[in-house]
Amino acid sequence: MSSLKVEMAKGLMWTAIGKYTGIVISIIVSMILARLITPEEFGIVAIAQVAIAFISVISDMGIGAAIVQNKTLTKSDYDNLFTFTVILGFLLSGVVVGMSPFLAKFYHSPKLVNVCIMIAISMFFGIISMVPEALFTKNKRFAFVNKRSMVFGVIGGIISIIYAFLGGGCYALVLSPILTAIPLFIIDMKEYPCHIVWHLSLAPFKKIFSFSFFQFSFGLVNYFSRNLDKLIIGRALDMKSLGYYQKSYSLMLMPLQNITFVITPVLQSFLSDYQDDLEFIREKYLKIIKLIATISFPLGVLLYYIGYEVVYILYGSQWVPAVPTFQIFALSIPLQLILSTTGSIFQSVNHTRDLFFVGIINTATTVSGFLICTCFWREMNSFALSWDITLIFNFIVSFSWMFRCIFKHSSLEVYKELLHPLVIGIIIFIVCGFVNFFIPKEYIVITLVLKILITLIVSYFMIRLYGDYDVNAFIGKSLAKLRNLIHK
């Protein structure tokens, strides 16, 4: 067990370094691009990305996750799977290019044609990189992957900014992925060479079918849960409203992508080694839930109160109309961060069938909320509020199903782990509310710094009071590891 902790810590450390470096890079790039590109152009790209995300879900088919999970695949199996992804890449890229004129006509935006074509190119290389990328995760090479991601993150950001300065508009948002996807594929093939086979065998597909089929099915239904609101807003309102909505949504996703996405790639690759020991996985998962909750409840409250400051500082005055939507989204961050880890647990214990059924229920709930908004309240804040409300229901369903059907325990165990973090969040909410009441928002730097300090101080003292974690020891160890890493 101690070796698991050491290996998992190393994986988490390198994944964290890569992701948090990515945060800094993406924030800097987005700050500049938001001042060079209009909300309407962001809305155009959002529509293209949502439409092509559907194709991407089909292209994945759960192959990557199945490769990580299955321990019996051979080099010949990998070559057969790679050959399949090449064929699939060509077919689906052709579909994207073919559907681009129809998207442009439906949303009354001619630029969508070229945007779709550009995204299709990067999507092709993403599809054919699926097998070698999965082998990086399977072999726990997180250090290499994240060093590579840091380098190309910087290169891609610079390319986007330069092209935006030259008047590239919405095309600046989709050029970078093309120019980085090709060298990434070359590096992947150098590290894990895969070859095209001319007589495709069905053997490797039979090995992974039971896992990948339900993984793919879950991804398909989850797509509608995540993207239907944007498709509706783009058609029912306008591209400007969609631009504001998408910017709020992307800003809300930043903690999701850079906290749990540090954990989830490592989670499945390590816990899959203990897939038959459900009690061990349950105990470890409850500790992970508590850790994420301790971070996310204060974070969600803080982001709710500093929504104006964050949007104004990062993106400028033209994006201020996005603030109310972002604040609504911010309140969903704690539950989203915790809920986003459930997929890795279902995968780790080989229960992708249950993941699929849970996904159907959750998607039906979310889509119902969006359809109600479309019928009665055609306003982007209503869609954000619908997201928050349906998320609570989805959270209850997901953990009830997981703990009762898989772990054979009560889901009340989860809510017990949330109690202390919830109290911390409530205290921060009350104190920051007083700051908002007494200090005008025009004093943007003062209010921002004060709210951040309140969040840190309250969290520190409450965690020490509860005794859930040794905060001082954690800070000391983290600084020591950082010093060792720098010296190495």
- Segment 386-438, tens digit of pLDDT: 989 999 999 999 999 999 988 888 989 999 999 999 999 999 999 999 998 88
Q: What is the dihedral of CA 342, 120, 38, 20, to 10 degrees?
A: 40
Give the percent of the chain with pLDDT over 70: 80
Tens digits of residue pLDDT in 273-322: 666 778 888 888 898 899 889 999 999 999 999 999 988 888 888 888 98
**Tokens read off for 12:** 């988490």
CA-only gyration radius of the chain, Å? 22
Which 8-state DSSP code applies to residue 71? S
pLDDT at 449 over 90: yes
Percent of the chain predicted with pLDDT > 90: 18
Is the confidence at residue 328, as pLDDT, over 90?
A: yes
> Tens of pLDDT along 403-414?
998 888 898 999
Average pLDDT of the residues in 75-99: 86
Report, as an integer, the average pLDDT of 186-205: 82
Q: Residue ranges per domain, the chain?
A: 260-488
Model confidence at 119, in pLDDT bands (50, 70, 90)?
Answer: confident
Q: Tell me what the mean pLDDT of segment 237-255 comes to.
A: 81
Mean pLDDT over all residues of the chain?
Answer: 80
Amino acid identity, residue 331? L
Which token pair is 268? 């499945």
Check if the beta carbon of residue 127 is closer than 8 Å to that of residue 89: yes
pLDDT tens per residue, range 330-360: 999 999 989 988 887 887 777 778 888 888 8
Spatial distance between the Cα atoms of 189 and 204, rounded to a whole number of angstroms: 20
d(CA 200, CA 456): 57
Q: What is the pTM of this model?
A: 0.70
Q: Where would I find the beta strands (DSSP E) of 4-47?
A: none
Question: Confidence band (pLDDT; 50, 70, 90) for 1?
Answer: very low
Q: How confident is the model at residue 488 (pLDDT cuts 50, 70, 90)?
A: low
The residue whose two tokens read 């699939």 is 88
Q: List Cβ neighbours of 453 (8 Å cut-off, separation of 6 or more).
A: none
Q: Where are the alpha helices (DSSP H) in 166-277?
A: 172-191, 203-236, 239-255, 261-271
Residue with tokens 């010949």: 76
